[in-house]
Amino acid sequence: MKIAHVFVDFPNESQLYNSKLISRLELSGVKCAIITFTNRKQANEFETYSVAHQRFNWFLYLLRGLIRYKTFRKYKRSTSFNFKKAIFYFGRFSVLIDINPNVVHIHHIQLLQPSLLNFLSVCNIKAIVSFRGGDLLVRPKRSKKETNFVIKVVESIKNVHLVSNHLKINLKVLNPIGINYFVIRRSVETDSIVKLNKVENDRPMILTIGRLHWTKGYKIALEAIYLLKSSGVSFSYHICGSYTNDQKDELNYWIAKYNLQDTIVFHGHLKSEEIDELLSLTTVYLQSSLSEGIPNTLLRALKHRVPTVTTDAGGIPEIFQENVDGLLAEMANPQDLFLKLNELLLNTEMQESIRRSKNVLISNYDKEIDRYKKMYETVYTN
């Protein structure tokens, strides 16, 4: 079986899971090809193609349209594009015909604009699309147009991959018709040997990993951190993740407002190995999310057996065991988040118990790959 994986960009340093997923699929006997929408040529071990437009590609587009003239005419009629626009898209996407995959896996919903949706339909290419948390928990709430876009995509593709049952429930609320749902949770991402040694810091260290997006609940986290500091607890709070200038400005505003400059350590974006090292030094991991599918960073903290305080946002309760992995706090409630942080920091016996225990919910790589293979087989045979 051969699967074409379609990404905005690949490999992507901030989404290392995708590279590891494809490596594991190939090791299991599934052939994989990578389709990217960027011009950047990056060295990797996979069969990779770019559909990004370059001026000298027009001759190639025309040639592909001529070779598959009947299919091109059908595509042009289905889109109502003029000739130039139709040949522009048909020529770019024809690489999907050239590599002849059994299934095309679209990893980013924003790529499924009418130009690509119509191409997949006209060429009878079987496909599946993966949804991230924001695709279903945030995007449809922006406008009716965005809601209709999501519905159109899933009803056109028919096959949907999700990382949590929570996302499946939220998609079903939109009432799409005739959809095949596949829920496969992601495996934990680490790039170092997990250190399960007892953390012995004179000053407890709290850590949050995640981009500075409002869905991660950093404002709520900083309110809870302020309450914790005001109660007399001595600690440091470390944040690492990617950000825009506006997001960093907002974070700095709240840090200054709560007078937390001497408490916060901001690391920005870190390499995977550096994150593993931070986790090995962490006393309590904090997940303050307001909206989630299942956060990879939380899975990573659980893999490291770091005592954790997390909100009950989205699909988190599906993988988090209260009093086994740590404590669960009410979403968007800084007072409750503070109380749970304080309770776990004071309860050294619970911390030690968590560090010495095993996380029974950690994904098994082999089982995960088996689920992907069965998913692709189902999409292909149906």
Could you tell me the pTM of the whole model?
0.90
Answer whether residue 163 is part of any domain.
yes
Residues 177 and 215 in one domain: no
- What's the confidence (pLDDT) of residue 272? 87
C-alpha torsion angle, residues 299, 302, 308, 313 (rounded to 10): 30
Answer whether residue 48 is part of any domain.
yes
Residues 42 and 169 in one domain: yes
For 151, residues 6+ apart whose C-beta sits below 8 A from its C-beta are 174, 175, 176
For residue 350, the domain's CATH number is: 3.40.50.2000
Residues 113 and 231 in one domain: no
Any alpha helices (H) in the chain, and if so which ranges? 16-27, 58-67, 69-79, 83-93, 95-99, 114-122, 133-137, 144-157, 165-173, 218-230, 245-257, 272-280, 296-303, 334-346, 348-356, 365-381
Cα-based angle 56, 61, 67 (whole degrees, multiple of 5): 140
- What's the confidence (pLDDT) of residue 365? 78
Residues 126 and 218 in one domain: no
Answer whether residue 199 is part of any domain.
no
> Structurally, how many domains does the chain consist of?
2
Output the six-digit token pair for 130: 């993966």
For 246, residues 6+ apart whose C-beta sits below 8 A from its C-beta are none
Distance CA 254, CA 288 (A): 15
For 338, residues 6+ apart whose C-beta sits below 8 A from its C-beta are 223, 224, 225, 227, 228, 231
Output the six-digit token pair for 315: 């699909």
> 225: domain range?
205-356
How many Cβ atoms from other residues are within 10 Å of residue 20's Cβ? 14
Answer whether residue 331 is part of any domain.
yes
- What's the confidence (pLDDT) of residue 45? 80
- What's the confidence (pLDDT) of residue 18? 87
Answer whether residue 79 is part of any domain.
yes
CA distances from 5 to 15, 36, 102, 103 (A): 14, 8, 11, 9
Residues 30 and 114 in one domain: yes
Answer whether residue 245 is part of any domain.
yes
CA distances from 75 to 36, 81, 84, 92, 122 (A): 22, 9, 13, 13, 6
- What's the confidence (pLDDT) of residue 189? 56
Q: Amino acid identity of 147?
A: T
Residues 175 and 128 in one domain: yes
Question: How remote is the C-alpha of 375 from its chain's centroid?
Answer: 19
Answer whether residue 98 is part of any domain.
yes
Q: Among 337, 345, 341, 340, which residue's Cα sits nearest to residue 220?
A: 337
Residues 77 and 172 in one domain: yes
Answer whether residue 129 is part of any domain.
yes
Residue-by-residue pLDDT tens, the chain, 382 positions: 999 999 998 877 666 788 889 999 999 999 999 999 987 655 568 899 999 998 888 999 999 999 999 999 999 999 999 999 999 999 999 999 999 999 999 999 999 999 999 999 999 999 999 999 999 999 999 999 999 999 999 999 999 999 999 999 999 999 999 999 999 988 775 555 555 545 556 799 999 999 999 999 999 999 999 999 999 999 999 999 999 999 999 999 999 999 999 999 999 999 989 999 999 999 999 999 999 999 999 999 999 999 999 999 999 999 999 999 999 999 999 999 999 999 999 999 999 999 998 765 555 778 899 999 999 999 999 8
pLDDT in tens, 159-213: 999 999 999 999 999 999 999 999 998 877 555 555 554 555 679 999 999 999 9
Residues 212 and 259 in one domain: yes
Residues 338 and 216 in one domain: yes
Residues 342 and 372 in one domain: no
Residues 222 and 255 in one domain: yes
Judge contact between 337 and 219, C-beta under 8 A.
Answer: no
pLDDT in tens, 86-122: 999 999 999 999 999 999 999 999 999 999 999 999 9
Residues 233 and 371 in one domain: no
For 324, residues 6+ apart whose C-beta sits below 8 A from its C-beta are 354, 357
For 76, residues 6+ apart whose C-beta sits below 8 A from its C-beta are 83, 86, 90
